[in-house]
Amino acid sequence: MNETSLIAKWSSLAPQLLSILRIVAAAIFLTSGTTKLFAFPTGMPPDGKGTASLMTQIGIGALLEVVGGLLLLVGLFTRPVAFVLSGEMAVAYFQFHFPSSFWPTINQGIAAILYCFVWLYISAAGPGPWSIDAARGRA
């Protein structure tokens, strides 16, 4: 197999890899919400035991993370949900992380930045072929 055909073969997997990116990112993102709402797999910092009150900004964010994460995991209403979650992560970064430092490694905002741009990309690129949206012909 020559280099050109290897690159073509790898490039042909882009749609499936988009689905894998969406599924893996959503599964990990979902745990951000379950931590805050259900103390699963652990509770909220600093003690790892508490949960967020639902009608607070953190509670509403956690609800978005759980519901949105589940929808993205299965690929249902992917584009609008990813767009909303991208905005949520931008707000989270600038409201909770950025004020303490300009540098994401110092303000612990790396995950928020990455999720913001992953969800923004998925809102434009769509869910990929392994999704309910694709099965419905709405990818």
Going from N- to C-terminal start, the domains of the chain cover 15-134
Q: Over the stretch 71-86, which tens digit does the pLDDT of each residue have?
A: 999 999 999 999 999 9
Write down the pLDDT at residue 1.
67
Identity at 85, one-letter amino acid code: L
Write down the pLDDT at residue 49.
85
| Ranges of residues in the chain whose predicted pLDDT is under 50 | none
Cα 26 from chain centroid?
A: 5
Write down the pLDDT at residue 46.
80
